């Protein structure tokens, strides 16, 4: 389980880093999205990987068997903020596309 999660985070981070270094704005935004997915999973992972356990204290149940609620709360906030800023970035990309007529990150056409 941990191995699968770690591999998924690693692959997504790798793809994301490669993509944000590309010259097309579309690739950059997909890269940023992938990176933010990877980071969200990572936050989720630091609370310990457990399946099918609630993050709610119940009498008589030892706390070690419960999931940590804090990373879940953090990841929720991070998703919301990441989503909003990515949407905002998308608008800027569209504005840049409209103003420069190209989707190069520096606003210039590359030799084909």
Partner 1 sequence: MNGWIHHLIIAPILVPLVAAALMLFFDERQRVVKAMISLASTLILVAVSLTLLRIESGPSEFDGVYLLGNWAAPFGIVLVLDALSALMLLLTALLSVAALVFSFARWHAVGAHFHTMFQLLLLGLNGAFLTGDLFNLFVFFEVMLAASYGLLLHGSGPLRVKAGMHYIAVNLAAALLFLIGVSLIYGTAGTLNMADLAARIPDIEPDRRILMEAGAGVLGIAFLIKAGMWPLCFWLPTAYSAASAPVAGIFAIMSKLGIYIILRLTMLLFGEGPSAGFGADVLLYGGIATLIFGTIGVLASQALGRLAGFSVLVSSGTLLMVLGINDGAISSGALLYLVSSTLTISAFFMLIELVERGQDAGAIVLAVTMEAYGDADEDEPEEGDGVTMPGTMAILGICFAACGILLSGLPPLSGFIAKFAMLSAMMGTGAIGVPPTAAVWVLVFLVILSGIAALISMTRAGIRTFWSSLEGTVPRVLVIEIVPVMFLLFLTLALTVQAGPAMQYMDTTIRSLSNPRIYIDAVRKAAPIPDYDGAASTEAGGK
Among residues 8 and 89, whose Cβ is nearest to partner 1?
89
* Pairwise CA distance, residues 69 & 76, whole Å: 11
DSSP category for residue 64: G
86 binds partner 1, rule: CB under 8 A: yes
CA separation, residue 29 to residues 9, 37, 55, 70, 93 (Å): 18, 12, 33, 28, 9
Instruction: Supply the minimum distance, in Å, between the C-beta of residue 20 and partner 1.
Output: 7
Among residues 11 and 92, whose Cβ is nearest to partner 1?
92
- Which residues 42-81 are close enough to bind partner 1 by CB under 8 A? 42-43, 46-47, 70-71, 74, 77-78, 81
């Amino acid at each position: 389980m941990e191995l699968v999660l770690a591999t998924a985070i690693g692959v997504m981070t790798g793809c994301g880093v490669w993509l944000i270094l590309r010259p097309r704005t579309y690739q950059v935004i997909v890269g940023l999205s992938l990176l933010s997915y990877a980071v969200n999973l990572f936050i989720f992972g630091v609370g310990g990987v457990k399946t099918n356990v609630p993050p709610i204290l119940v009498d008589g149940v030892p706390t070690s068997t419960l999931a940590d609620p804090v990373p879940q709360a953090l990841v929720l906030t991070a998703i919301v903020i990441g989503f909003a800023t990515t949407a905002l970035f998308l608008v800027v990309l569209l504005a840049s596309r409209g103003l420069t007529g190209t989707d190069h990150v520096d606003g210039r056409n590359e030799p084909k």
